[in-house]
Structure 1
Amino acid sequence: MKLFRRRTEKRADAYDRYWDKVAAVQDVAGVNVTPSSAEGISAVYAAVAAISESVASLPLDIYRRTEDGREKARSHPLYKVLHTEPNSKQTALEFREMMQRHVLLRGNAYAEIQWSRTGRIEALLPLHPDRVSVLLTDDDSLVYEVSDRRGNIRRLLAEEVLHLRYHTDDGIMGRSPIQVARDTVGLALAERTHGERMFAQGTKLSGVIQTQAGTTKQQAGDIRESWAAGYGGVGSHGKTAVLPAGAEFKTVSMTLEDAEWIEARRMSVEEVARLFRVPPVLIGDLREANYSNAVELGRYFVTHTLRRHLVMWEQAAGRSLINDPGTFYAEHNVEGLLRGDSLKRAQFYQRSIEDGWMMRSEVRRLENLPTVEGIDDAPRQEAAPRTAE
């Protein structure tokens, strides 16, 4: 572990408390956009869940480089921390899922690194981004200021923090899709609020009651209250309205069909999927899904969505957690997500064995089957000649 001497610190104006402490008071499309309110949109919640759950559930192993390749370093102290138990309160899946959600919703994720006296990592303790501020020292090093629920503040050196960033604009602080595209998320929230209010007010029964000349304010108020009490709300939808003598009801607001509200809601799902780079089918939009493209959509998700986040974890571990990155490194095992169906796996394994770059024992290991002694000594079958397609 590197030694670091504390220096006189200065706060960087661009790295103040988390952005939504200020942005929460600013309206976008008439609603407040924060990570909490954005999660209330089912598409946002589904996109964040799809990415964070997938990243957290993939095995994250520590490997040792060898002369003939590599091997799992199960005896490395970091292996247990990343693969099994990062701290006494969380499993590895719970910890990594929480950190990944912080990255997606807030742009940054922090974990305190607990080092032993011998320079070994003992635990990783997650820190909520809302309670972390980043400071710059005179020599441009980073210091993390952490506050607890009681208001106590302590400072951690860069060597004591695992910092994950998403789409950083300055190399120090990350930015979430919600932060960058607040207008898009705000529009989705406004559409949801519009639907809630329309249904709460009786859906289509919204307009003006025109009364006869000479109606007093008191009489008009009584008519309005009587109308609201008798016909307002979803439970009153479909009732036959009775108006006072001479009164006439005129609709002045757009109906749900006129505003194409349902189509707008569908467009919001596509917008959210675009922000998080998630195939719409994974967040419940099944219009473009079918049995023929299900496997390819899964591959697309791994290649174009998960890959960036997986590499972020691997490189952050190499930078902050591994003392000897020339010998050890972290890597996810994504084979389970890319294997496809049984027939395609069988064809892939068959050609791999026939071409001689894969052993039968390796195939059984990938399929989690028990070892069979001497299976690699059995003669290979001659590959059938392949015809040009």
Structure 2
Amino acid sequence: MSFFYNGNDDHTASPISDPFLDALVSLSSDDPTVFTGANALKNSDVFAAIRIIASDIASSPISSSNVTLQNLLNLKPNNLMDAWHFKFALVVNMLLNGNSFAEIIKDSNSKVSALNFIPNSEMTVTQDDSTGKLTYNYTPINRTKRLIAPESILHFRYFTQDGITGLSPLYALHDELKIQHLGNNMLSGFFANGIQGTGILKVHQTQLDKSAKKNIRDKFEDANSGSLRTIVLDDDMDYSTLEVNTDILKLVNSNDWSTRQIAKVFGLPPEKLGVENEHSSNEQSNLLYLQNTLGHYFDVFTSELAAKLTGSFEFNTDELLSVDPETQQSLAVKGIQGGILTINEAREKLGLNSVTGGDEIMASLNYTPLSNLVVYQDFKENKGAVTDETGQTVNN
């Protein structure tokens, strides 16, 4: 049983061969397993949503207990890509197709030496109906077809019904994208007709057949559409414009419903797609975005990495949580004063070098356990003498 296929068995070479652009793929039918090339990604809201999520994940370093793998994931996973574009391409494919793939390459000592990105157009995954075993069929363009063992493939998928097959968020946006497309076509058609919009051209003292009317209409529109131009008419012609209901155009132009739906499906705060959000501040929205959206995407990657590779993995989100320099410095000072950060830890967050003696936790004398206050009060009242547990005075 095959559950991923590219819908095109001839593997005609694409004019776009750059690995980064090959990652930009899009659904073109109601079937969530069918995709086309990068030229299908024409919706600006979808492009922006995927760009934001993919960029944020690609910009977040991955910490690992395995130093070799950490360097591969953060520096150069293979000979063709740097780490940023490698992670970006994986996220783009996962969001648009529901699945993304990378092959684990090992050296003669069975140690991981590279992670090769595989475009979805070159991968077909089959599952045996009786055993449930997965088979990854790799069909690179103009190269030899081969099978890859499941343990040698990093297979990332987010939304899934069976834990194996990933579904794209675009599958849930079929109707919304169609509505947005129709609205954009209405605006495009209006502006394409120039300032005249829809009008009536009357030709006096003659009977015109269908072909003649079409010919006069086409020539008139060709001469006067698109830009501010002076209309020149013969004596036997009159032109009048029909009133256009601009309220409809305003509604189409100001309607942000489909944009909000796209943001909702991808888990983005609406303001990241240019829609005003009246119910929360930017700080609250960014925190919710990190916790409720990026956190889940991070888990998709770290769980697959931990399952197929040796070591533990975690995304570093410091850059995503970074604030303006003044606020960042204030938080660092509060961390030192509260005994949470050492001086050097706070300086590291500010991008400063460590200093001698800066590795100790600082504590304020203004904070002390309540029991110490009793001893201190007795000390003051007895002028240097305090009592022990039995109430006997002990000279200090």
- TM-score (normalised: structure 1): 0.77
**Among 254, 262, 266, the residue aligned to 1:272:** 262
Name 2:212's counterpart in structure 1.
219
- Bigger shift: 219-228 or 339-348? 339-348
Name 2:222's counterpart in structure 1.
229
Aligned positions of 1:81-96 closer than 5 A:
81-96=72-87
Work out whether residues 210 and 250 of structure 1, in 8 Å CA contact, stay in contact via their aligned partners in 2: no
Work out whether residues 188 and 268 of structure 1, in 8 Å CA contact, stay in contact via their aligned partners in 2: yes
Work out whether residues 38 and 178 of structure 1, in 8 Å CA contact, stay in contact via their aligned partners in 2: no
Alignment pair present for 1:370 and 2:353: yes
Name 1:24's counterpart in structure 2.
28
Q: Structure 2 unaligned runs (5+)?
A: 10-25, 369-396
- Deviation by residue 1:157-185 (Cα, 9 ceiling, x = unmatched): 11111011021122211111112222212
Q: CA RMSD in A?
A: 3.4
Distance across 1 between alignment mates of 2:210 and 2:43: 41
**Among 172, 190, 196, the residue aligned to 2:164:** 172
3-state SS of the aligned residue for 2:125?
strand
Distance across 1 between alignment mates of 2:116 and 2:171: 25
Alignment pair present for 1:103 and 2:105: no
Distance across 1 between alignment mates of 2:367 and 2:324: 23
- Bigger shift: 173-182 or 206-215? 206-215
Q: CA distance change for structure 1 residues 210 and 363 in 2, over 3 Å: closer, same or farther?
A: same
Distance across 1 between alignment mates of 2:8 and 2:182: 18
3-state SS of the aligned residue for 2:190?
helix
**Among 218, 223, 233, the residue aligned to 1:242:** 233
- Deviation by residue 1:273-308 (Cα, 9 ceiling, x = unmatched): 2221212322333x3489x93333322322222111
Amino acid at match of 2:193: Q
Distance across 2 between alignment mates of 1:111 and 1:194: 42
Q: Report the CA distance between 1:372 and its aligned residue.
A: 1.3
3-state SS of the aligned residue for 1:337?
coil
Q: CA distance change for structure 1 residues 49 and 108 in 2, over 3 Å: closer, same or farther?
A: same
Distance across 2 between alignment mates of 1:146 and 1:379: 57
* Higher RCO structure, 1 or 2 (CA under 8 Å, sep 6+): 1
Aligned positions of 1:141-220 closer than 5 A:
141-150=133-142, 152-202=144-194, 204-209=196-201, 214-220=207-213
Work out whether residues 56 and 93 of structure 1, in 8 Å CA contact, stay in contact via their aligned partners in 2: yes
Q: CA distance change for structure 1 residues 114 and 199 in 2, over 3 Å: closer, same or farther?
A: same
Q: Report the CA distance between 1:38 and its aligned residue.
A: 5.8
Name 1:59's counterpart in structure 2.
61
Distance across 2 between alignment mates of 1:243 and 1:147: 66
3-state SS of the aligned residue for 1:223?
helix
Distance across 1 between alignment mates of 2:365 and 2:231: 81
Q: CA distance change for structure 1 residues 271 and 92 in 2, over 3 Å: closer, same or farther?
A: same
**Count of aligned positions:** 347
Distance across 2 between alignment mates of 1:255 and 1:220: 26
Q: CA distance change for structure 1 residues 100 and 204 in 2, over 3 Å: closer, same or farther?
A: farther
Q: CA distance change for structure 1 residues 121 and 377 in 2, over 3 Å: closer, same or farther?
A: closer
Amino acid at match of 1:315: S
Q: Report the CA distance between 1:210 and its aligned residue.
A: 5.3
Alignment pair present for 1:130 and 2:121: yes
- Bigger shift: 78-87 or 38-47? 38-47
Amino acid at match of 2:218: E
Between structure 1 and structure 2, the one with the greater Rg is 2
The percent of aligned pairs where both chains have the same amino acid is 21
- Deviation by residue 1:322-378 (Cα, 9 ceiling, x = unmatched): 2xxxxx301111123224344544454444434434322322233332221212458
Q: Report the CA distance between 1:383 and its aligned residue.
A: 4.5
Distance across 1 between alignment mates of 2:160 and 2:79: 31
Q: Report the CA distance between 1:154 and its aligned residue.
A: 1.9
- Deviation by residue 1:187-242 (Cα, 9 ceiling, x = unmatched): 2233333333332232652255455673333432332122122222x22x464463
Distance across 2 between alignment mates of 1:141 and 1:124: 23
3-state SS of the aligned residue for 1:122?
strand
